[in-house]
Structure formats: structure tokens, C-alpha cells
Amino acid sequence: MAAATIQAMKGEESIPNWQLTVDYVETCNCNFGCPCNFSGFPSFGFCRAIVLYHIKEGSYGDTSLKGVDVVYVGSWPKAIHEGDGTLQLFISKSANEDQRKALVKVVSGWAKGNGPFALFGTTIKYNLEPQFVEVNTKIDGRNSSFSVAGVIEVQTESFKNPVSGEEADARVSLPKGFIWQEALACRTRKMRIVSPNMSFDDSGKNAFFVADLKFKGP
């Protein structure tokens, strides 16, 4: 699927009703808590994120999206709202052509709707060609992981008491959050990508986990 073809899909058809219920793993380069979620500026002046959408239930019109994994890799030279971002999607290779087209539209923000997709879409300058690959996932709350062999590796873990080793039940509540309203706070044990267009390693930084997070549109 060439980049020009993806761009053309934007005007292919009217947007049907769509919905997603996902297990959501968010990792980024910010310090723990991520000030961006509090409408602040990123910890180090720029943003890099690798996010998993593990689709438990979903549809785009008559097309079922259940069982597909999407990894969203975004990089912005400044704060996200200042734009000039680069986006690359990694989507389960098992997805059929209709599922692939639907998910590119939804997650890139072309299919409008609630949540971050349409909002983040306005900040992207470079939409790289999506990759349809084997996405390996393990969903286990704060101790989740996902990977694309040879390209992406993400593992999250709980915060632990340095004396007793007890896992901390850290949570963040954002009643007006534009992605989620309550998340389990954790950290990345590993968070890296190596690819021709984007390569970075922000292991040991911020992460969140949300079960059964819902999005819908248009």
C-alpha cells in the first residue's frame, strides 16, 4: 500500500459509524506521569511515543476489526500540538484489505470521531507507509509487552517499593482526559524502535495501561 494510495483513501467514501474497544498500552519519552496528558509540555521538549491498540471488539461500518493489533509510532520535534510530526502504523498482517483500509483511516485520524485520532492527525506532517507485520502481544495490565520482530520492542512494568519490592498500585485520574480518564501508571522496561525512518530508545520512561478503552466515530 503506497503512501500516495493511502492519501487517496481519505476521499474514497463517506465515513460510516465505527467503534473500537481496546486494551491500550501507551509509552513515551517523558518522565513518569507525562506532563502532556496534563496539557503541559513534554519533559524534554519533544515527543516520541509507541502505543499499542489491542482491539478486543470493533467495527468500521460492516467490517469487523476484532482481533487486530495496531502499533502507533509517533515522533514530534517539539510538543505534539506544535505539529511537524511523523507517524508510522504497524498493523497485524492477518488483517484483510478492508480491515487494513479501515484502520489506517481511523487511527490516522481521517475517520474523525472521539479520542485522540482526529486531534493527533492534525499534528502529523509525514505519514509514512503503514507496515503489515506480525505483532506479538502479551496483555497483562502494567506488565504488558508487544513487539515487531527486529523493529519494535516494548515491555512495561509496575513501580516497585525499593525496600520491600511491593508493587505500587499507581493510578492517574483525568476526568477530562482526551485519550483516557483513568489509567494504571507504570514504566517502560524496554521501549525502542529501529527502522529506516524512525529509530529511538526511550526505555525506563513513562507508560500507562488502560483496559477496555472505547473510541467511536464519526
- pLDDT tens, residue order, the chain (218 aa): 444 444 545 555 688 999 999 999 999 999 999 999 888 899 999 999 999 999 999 999 999 999 999 999 999 999 999 999 999 999 999 999 999 999 999 999 988 877 789 999 999 999 999 999 999 999 999 999 999 999 999 999 999 988 888 898 999 999 988 899 999 999 999 999 999 999 999 999 999 999 999 999 98
Closest CA to 70 of 34, 100, 47, 37: 100
Distance between CA 32 and CA 158 in Å, rounded? Answer: 12
Task: Specify the pLDDT at position 33.
Answer: 92
The strand ranges marked E within 100-198 are 124-127, 131-133, 136-138, 145-148, 152-157, 171-173, 182-194
Task: Specify the pLDDT at position 11.
Answer: 52
Distance between CA 127 and CA 86 in Å, rounded? Answer: 6
Asked whether 101 and 115 are in contact (CB, 8 A), the reply is no
Task: Specify the pLDDT at position 12.
Answer: 56
- Note the helical H segments in the chain: 3-9, 97-108, 116-121
Asked whether 179 and 72 are in contact (CB, 8 A), the reply is no
Closest CA to 22 of 64, 66, 55: 55
